[in-house]
Amino acid sequence: MDTSAYTALSRQTGLRRELDIIANNVANANTNGFRREDLVFSEFVKSAGAQAPSLSMVAANAHRIVLDQAGIEITGGTFDFAIEGPGFFQIARDGNTYLTRAGHFMPDQDGLLVNGDGHQLLDAGGAPVFVPPGTEVALASDGTLSADGRPIALIGLMQPVDELDLERGGGNLFAVRGELEPVDGIHLVQGALEKSNVNSIAEIARLIEVQRRYESTKGFLDREDQRIKSVIQTLGRS
């Protein structure tokens, strides 16, 4: 296989991964707090020695979570919290801390705020948030949670120092490979949820374009495969 075929094959592999990512984006266009994902491509050049040309391939070497703000939907729910601006809620799961933009919570049987999967919301200090039963709960824009007018917790937001350290953690959760830092000047909205930041129309158009490029690359590889077979057959008859 010559250099052009290697390049086309690496391109096809990257496009296949991009198609999977776009399909997942479209599937989560109505998932609250979902963040669109992109694939970052780069050129990979490998030397084949002094007597041979270098090998150039396309490498899909990084996933990037797009953190653009999504729209806010008013729900009126007491424990629906929307983030306006940067940052993530902290969620405890299996002894680890995850991040999320999905702000739908509810008190469990112990009065601790949990998400739909039963994982606990953490306050600014990393502790579970307890809400006294039978109280009127209010959330200030700075994250101060009050029950019957008395502050009971401060919900702080965190963000990765390097955005590329974000990776999917399952569902609406994100894991972070690197360091976290608190977000200053947070703004939360009670009785509202942030929607997905996926633009369905744009993603479907992107899906069609990537599919077209994938099929074009596949066609080239099929023709190259046929050319090599023809050469082998010709040599076999000589």
Distance between CA 206 and CA 200 in Å, rounded? 10
Give the pLDDT score at 160.
96
> How far are the Cα atoms of 39, 87, 166 from residue 102, in angstroms, in the given order?
23, 11, 16
Domain extents in the chain: 3-67+198-237, 72-190
Which token pair is 190? 């009670």
Q: Do residues 59 and 14 lie in contact, with contact meaning Cβ atoms separated by under 8 Å?
A: yes
Distance between CA 125 and CA 230 in Å, rounded? 69
Burial of 153 (0-12, 13-18, 19+ CB in 10 A): buried
Burial of 221 (0-12, 13-18, 19+ CB in 10 A): middle
Give the pLDDT score at 36.
95
pLDDT band at 191 (very low <50, low <70, confident <90, very high): very high
pLDDT at 143 over 70: yes
pLDDT band at 218 (very low <50, low <70, confident <90, very high): low
pLDDT band at 213 (very low <50, low <70, confident <90, very high): confident
Q: Which residue has the tokens 């933009």?
A: 101
pLDDT band at 171 (very low <50, low <70, confident <90, very high): confident
pLDDT band at 215 (very low <50, low <70, confident <90, very high): confident
Q: Do residues 70 and 172 lie in contact, with contact meaning Cβ atoms separated by under 8 Å?
A: no
Give the pLDDT score at 179.
94
Give the pLDDT score at 45.
52
Burial of 181 (0-12, 13-18, 19+ CB in 10 A): exposed
Q: Which one of 47-56, 101-110, 159-168 scores highest in mean pLDDT?
A: 101-110
Q: What is the phi-psi region of residue 28: left when phi exceeds 0, alpha when psi lies from -120 to 50, beta otherwise?
A: alpha
The pTM of the full predicted model, rounded to 2 decimals, is 0.80
